[in-house]
Amino acid sequence: MNILETHDLTKEFGRFTAVAQLSIAVAGGETFGLLGPNGAGKSTAIKMMTTLLPPTSGTAGIAGYDIVRQAGAVRRVIGYVPQLLSADGTLTGYENLLIFAKLYDIPRRERKERIDSALEFMGLSDVAGQLVRTYSGGMIRRLEIAQSLLHKPQVLFLDEPTVGLDPVARHLVWDHITELRREYGTTIFLTTHFMEEADILCHRVAILHHGTVRAIGSPAELKSSLNIAEPTLDDVFVHYAGDSLATEEGGFREASRLRRITRRLG
């Protein structure tokens, strides 16, 4: 059974079409990746599904709830980790989780246990009492994933989960996401422009370019569709999304934003 479905989901900003008629279906327990160069419309698509942006046209349903008409219900069954590192640096790791436990109506008697187990699952128990300011980028990202898991979401949305992280931190985040999927069967919807990330984490991927889906399938299927020797997902990506990984679409804003994230991670 599909836990997430979109039908012709479209978002226009003025005359610019960020996402055009996106129609995808994600099965329960699946990890689905939306791949694309910067500016391809990945974040816009994820913002619509998480109720942050109203679609211009088309529909989408999550766990049977409509993202526009039943936005409140959708918000209760999804978890979301935005692209930016968004944990509050002036609070401790524990407090960051506590605030969200309260916002998500987790009963008082269960709060501590859930927060503790989420922190432990993400390997952050030892630093729970420290201010998040003192965390590394990888730790902040893991804290945010812990934050998004407190209410046991049916679908977890990760927008560029490892952007700006160094390779070691990136692999650690991948390990945790893999474990999350394996142990609890959480459906994960992620966006990325790292081919390796999609290859390791995703059951199926859709390649998005200029707001439209160019190809969809498992990484293996997409690779074998190319008819070249030892294809990589990079080859697939170049084949479907043009010859550059970072198009000019993102432009100055994208570049300065990425640099800001990198700087913040120190």
Provide, rounded to whole angstroms, the least separation between the CB of residue 8 and another protein.
21
- Tell me the C-alpha distance between 156 and 65, whole Å: 15
Pick 31 or 147: Cβ nearer another protein? 147
85 versus 215: smaller Cβ distance to another protein: 85
Rounded distance between C-alpha atoms, residue 35 and residue 134, angstroms: 32
Per-residue HEC secondary structure of 97-143 comes to HHHHHHHCCCCHHHHHHHHHHHHHHCCCHHHCCCEHHHCCHHHHHHH
Nearer to another protein, 55 or 219 (CB): 55
- The string of DSSP letters for 178-217 reads HHHHHHH--EEEEEES-HHHHHHH-SEEEEEETTEEEEEE
CB of 155 to another protein, least distance (A): 10
Binding site for another protein (CB under 8 A): 47, 50-53, 72-73, 75-78, 80, 82-86, 88, 90-92, 95, 99-100, 102-105, 114, 117-118, 121, 131, 147, 149, 151-154, 180, 183-186
Q: How far is the CB of 243 from another protein (least distance, A)?
A: 30
In angstroms, what is the minimal distance from the CB of 54 to another protein?
A: 9
Closest CA to 86 of 13, 4, 8, 143: 143
Judged by CB, which is closer to another protein: 49, or 195? 49
> In whole angstroms, how close is the CB of 139 to another protein at the nearest point?
16
- Please, what is the minimum distance in Å from the beta carbon of residue 89 to another protein? 8
How many C-beta neighbours within 10 Å does residue 142 have? 25
Nearer to another protein, 86 or 232 (CB): 86
Query: How far lies 139's CA from each of 135, 168, 172, 181, in Å?
Result: 6, 11, 10, 19
CB 141: neighbour CB atoms within 10 A? 28
The residue written with tokens 């290859």 in the block is 199
CA 83 to chain centre: 7
CB contact set of 141 (below 8 Å; sequence gap of 6+): 81, 85, 161, 162, 165, 169, 173
Using the minimum distance from each CB to another protein, give the nearer residue, 191 or 236: 191
> Smaller CB distance to another protein: residue 70 or 225?
70
Question: Minimum CB separation from another protein for residue 95, in Å?
Answer: 6
